[in-house]
Amino acid sequence: MGILSKVEQHSETETTVGLDVILFSGRANPQLAAAIARDLDVRVGRCEIDRFADGETSVRLGESVTGRHVVLVQPTAPPVNDHLMELLALADACRRGIAARISAVIPYYGYARSDKRHNELEPIMGRVVADLLQSVGISHLVTMDLHTPQIEGFFRAPVDSLTAMESLCAAMRADLPKDFVVVAPDAGRATLAAQYAQCLGAEVVVLHKRRTREHVETVRIVGDVAGRACVLIDDMISTGGTLAQATAVLLDKGARPGIVIAATHGLFIAPARERLDIEGVKAVYVTDTIASPVAGWPKLRVVPVAPVFAAAVRRYIEGAHRG
């Protein structure tokens, strides 16, 4: 039984706390929002989102949210600032419309890479975004493969910090040869690579990279890839620089061509596709957290993750109903 039908049944018999659930989508990934709504068996609410002539964001809900549990779905994917502003406007409209609770499903959390200062003249934008989200009444966050787990600590509100690792492993298995290693493109992904390796029953190799403003450089490799197939993992593909560089190093060290890439968030900012569309790469797996700008690319495999989000939202709402 879906959440809404359960809630409706309760409200008919007047034995519940009186919550019912409605989902609204921003414009970043309406397909994913619709899939989450289907899994939850709730309706996608009507709303109009647009830009005023001067570029400001305009939002108008098409129905009342008073007393309802609202689920907002919006990855803050490129254009990050526009999508973030839409989400803030949606949440503020719900808060002012006296929604009972607001869960924000932010499948990809933009600005997550700004989680600390590299020098004293920089902001920590991951924290600024957390403060903004909470200032407009978001009382629960659901997200996936945050760039660093400590971002969860930027929130006072409860955070469901999910991973796509199992979904990606399940989807990739058929594409993997017998003798392969899982490769982290940098030390920051070593823990994630170890989780993939455990899930897939493989060894881990870690590359160490140095990033300057202009380019990424791999400086050391820990582990042996000679003659072996590789599964190269990451949390995200932005311009593809990190994984293109890692691929080149692996092939140079004698890894077998036919490298399989897996990353949760496929931003594919140009020239990411061109960088990764090379002979040595067999397939690129990403999830549908971000509506793909390179849909139709034969090497691309998109793994759906709506059920993972829906399960987390369901758990939270059922917990909230129990009080």
- Residue 216 CB, shortest distance to ligand R5P, in Å, is 6
78 binds ligand R5P (CB under 6 A): no
Return the SS3 of 293.
Answer: coil
235 binds ligand R5P (CB under 6 A): yes
195 binds ligand R5P (CB under 6 A): no
* List 172, 197, 229, 236, residue binding ligand R5P (CB under 6 A): 236
Q: Please, which residue, 37 or 237, has the CB nearer to ligand R5P?
A: 237
307 binds ligand R5P (CB under 6 A): no
Q: Which helix (H) or strand (E) holds 216?
A: strand 216-222
- Do the Cβ atoms of 239 and 215 come closer than 8 Å? no
* List 26, 45, 107, 240, residue binding ligand R5P (CB under 6 A): 240
- Do the Cβ atoms of 227 and 256 come closer than 8 Å? yes
Give me the catalytic one of 6, 116, 178, 209.
209
234 binds ligand R5P (CB under 6 A): yes
Q: Which helix (H) or strand (E) holds 10?
A: helix 3-13
- Whole-angstrom Cα distance, residue 185 to residue 210? 11
Q: Name every residue whose Cβ is closer than 8 Å to that of residue 232 and which is 6 or more positions away in sequence.
A: 183, 185, 243, 246, 247, 250, 259, 260, 261, 262
DSSP code at position 173 = G
239 binds ligand R5P (CB under 6 A): yes
Binding segment for ligand R5P among 1-9, 13-21, 183-191, 293-301 (CB under 6 A)?
A: 183-191
- Residue 269 CB, shortest distance to ligand R5P, in Å, is 7
Binding segment for ligand R5P among 2-10, 82-90, 115-123, 186-194 (CB under 6 A)?
A: 186-194
148 binds ligand R5P (CB under 6 A): no
Q: Please, which residue, 160 or 186, has the CB nearer to ligand R5P?
A: 186
Binding segment for ligand R5P among 100-108, 197-205, 236-244, 283-291 (CB under 6 A)?
A: 236-244
Return the SS3 of 11.
Answer: helix
- Residue 113 CB, shortest distance to ligand R5P, in Å, is 6
238 binds ligand R5P (CB under 6 A): yes
- Whole-angstrom Cα distance, residue 269 to residue 78? 9
The amino acid that residue 97 corresponds to is G
Binding segment for ligand R5P among 21-29, 176-184, 233-241, 279-287 (CB under 6 A)?
A: 233-241
Q: Please, which residue, 200 or 237, has the CB nearer to ligand R5P?
A: 237
Active site residue 116: no
93 binds ligand R5P (CB under 6 A): no
Return the SS3 of 225.
Answer: coil
Please provide the DSSP assignment of 116-170 as one string.
S-SSTT---HHHHHHHHHHHTT--EEEEES-SSGGGGGG-SS-EEEE--HHHHHH
CB atoms within 10 A of CB 110: 23
Please report how many Cα atoms fall inside a 13 Å half-sphere around the Cα of residue 244, on the Cβ side.
Answer: 17
x-marked contacts with ligand R5P along 106-145 as a string, rule CB under 6 A: -------x--------------------------------
**Site residues for ligand R5P per CB under 6 A:** 113, 185-186, 188-189, 216, 234-242
Active site residues: 209
